[in-house]
Amino acid sequence: MNKDESQAFERELCRIQELIGALEDLADPQARERAKELLQVVLDLHGTGLARLLELVSEAEEAGQKLLNALAQDEQVRALLLLHGVHPEDLESRVRKAVDTMHPLLGTQDIQIELLSVAEDKVRLRLQGDWQGQHLTIETLRREIEEAIFEAAPDAAGIEIEDLMEPAARPREILVPVSSIPRRNKQGVSAAES
Amino acid sequence: MTIAEPQRSHPSFPQQGWVAALRGFTRKTSPVEAGRCELCGAEILPGHQHLVEPAGRRLLCCCQACAVLFSNQAAAKYRRVPERTELLRGFHMSDLQWDALRIPIDLAFFFRSSTTQGVVGFYPSPAGATESLLSFAAWEALVADNPMLAELESDVEALLVNRLEEARGYYRVPIDRCYELVGLIRAHWQGLAGGAEVRDAIRNFFARIEEAARAPGLGSHA
């Protein structure tokens, strides 16, 4: 997809969540239940068809495997596979790959990221490091990480990031030599050496 | 993943991925609707009426014909559930009076039972409606402050109390509304503390109750 198509696609994905929110807020429970049911039935229809389609593709052996790989790489087809739970890679392995991709970039900020667990579709991560916070705010960092994870795993039901503290709050573990603490001489002028 | 780009082209929904959101939405949460009158077997639409069987404290779904038939009988095995929903402004219940009723949670309903000849209290729980032993004196004290309670039709009407968090809502509602609330809570409850979904469900429920109270005759309920 080109950039415009990509942005339009992302907007559509957002639109799904907006519409879900709007329907959940419907005062009429009947209408909401009918909408849910219709959606579920239509999704089931697609899911069954898609699973069958993939079966047929995989029956073509080597050519089929090649095709399956290509399908999983294509952004729009991938979304379909994920939606119906027929993507060849499971949630955990996709999340792990996403975390691995983040290592070098976060490393330039002296941050280490670790995947703790993926239980019940909830992703738990830990961040560690002597973070200077020079280029990022906490919010930006969190958002970047979440977006990368949800991109790889839109079937994740939640993300928890441990140890994500403001840089000022992190206790520094470097010992400060006594000689470098500023001292004031008799005139009240500080005579620091560090 | 870009580090240096704070602007995004769309609002973010950080809680869950879009696939998880869709799955959560379509997951079957509400109980299956009855499609037949439990007395005569006629097909009934959503928004149908209910009868109460006081002996078993059961609710039965019924068609319009059976509802009318049973509401005309005197010493009835089945009693028709009325539709009147009222927000009780000026209802008095102090914290002390609430505590005296000894309900474990801040949400409950009370009705006069013709079979026990007393008032019973129920509260919703993840397992369904749970009966709570009521102190006669505590209830009588409440009636003394709120004489309208004596008007509640036995078995079919209830005092519904919502004191969750900051709420202080007191309603006169048909008994099937109470069981609707119980059903909602049971269906949406998650984990030990209930979760956000059940809080939303409760909030929406009371919004509908208040709307039905404002517009009598429009609120035909499921």
- Please check whether residues B99 and B130 belong to one and the same domain: yes
| pLDDT in the model for residue B28 | 61
Asked, for residue B19, whether it belongs to a domain, the answer is: no
Is residue B8 over pLDDT 70?
A: no
Rounded to 5 degrees, φ, ψ at A2 are -85, 180
Residues of chain A in contact with residue B26, where contact means CB-CB under 8 angstroms, are 36, 39-40, 43
Contact A36 B3 (CB under 8 A): no
Is A139 inside any structural domain? yes
Q: Looking at the structure, tell me whether residues B210 and B181 fall in a common domain.
A: yes
Split into its structural domains, chain A has a count of: 2
Q: Are residues A101 and A152 in the same domain?
A: yes
Residue B57 sits in the same domain as residue B164: no
CATH of residue A114? 3.30.300.130
Angle at B148 between CA B143 and CA B149, to 5 degrees: 50
Q: Is B208 at the interface with chain A, CB within 8 A?
A: yes
Model pTM above 0.90 = no
pLDDT tens for each residue of A9-54 = 889 988 998 999 888 888 777 788 888 889 988 998 999 899 889 9
Cross-chain residue pair A27–B204, CB shorter than 8 Å: yes
B73 and B136 share a domain? no
**Shared domain check, B183 and B101:** yes
| Residues B90 and B191 grouped into a single domain | yes
On whether residue A25 sits in a domain, the answer given is yes
pLDDT number for residue B29: 53
Q: Is residue B128 situated within a structural domain?
A: yes
Q: Is A186 part of any domain?
A: no
Whether residues A154 and B24 touch (CB distance < 8 A) is answered with no
Q: How many CA atoms lie within 13 A of B89 on its CB side?
A: 3
In this structure, are B201 and B170 located in the same domain?
A: yes
Looking at chain A, how many residues does it have?
194
- B207 and B138 in a single domain? The answer is yes
Residues on A contacting B at a C-beta cutoff of 8 Å: 7, 10-11, 13-14, 16-17, 20, 23-25, 27, 29-30, 33, 36, 39-40, 43, 82-83, 101-102, 105, 108-109, 121, 135-137, 140, 142-144, 146-148, 150, 153-159
**Lowest-pLDDT range of A38-52, A67-81, B11-25:** B11-25
Rounded CA separation B176/B168 (Å)? 21
A-chain residues within 8 Å CB-CB of B46? Answer: 30
Considering only the beta carbons, identify the residue of B14, B26, B46 that sits closest to A30: B46
User: B209 lies in a domain?
Assistant: yes
Domain that holds residue B160: 85-215
Total structural domains within chain B = 2
Same-domain check for residues A7 and A79: yes
CB atoms A156 and B16 under 8 Å: yes
Å between B16 CA and nearest CA of chain A: 5
Q: By residue range, what is the domain housing residue A140?
A: 91-169
Share of chain A above pLDDT 90, in %: 27
- State both tokens at B20: 């998880």
Give yes or no: residues A114 and A147 share one domain: yes
What average pLDDT does this structure show over B139-151?
A: 93
Q: Which two tokens stand for residue B67?
A: 């509802």
Let me know whether B100 and B66 are in one domain.
no
Instruction: Tell which of A83, A102, A126 closes a domain.
Output: A83
| B76 and B97 part of one domain | no
Q: Is residue B4 part of a domain?
A: no
Interface predicted TM-score of the whole assembly (ipTM), two decimals: 0.73
Cross-chain residue pair B10–A148, CB shorter than 8 Å: no
pLDDT in tens, B174-196: 999 999 999 889 888 887 778 88
pLDDT digits (tens, 9 = 90+) for A89-121: 999 999 999 999 998 888 887 888 999 989 888
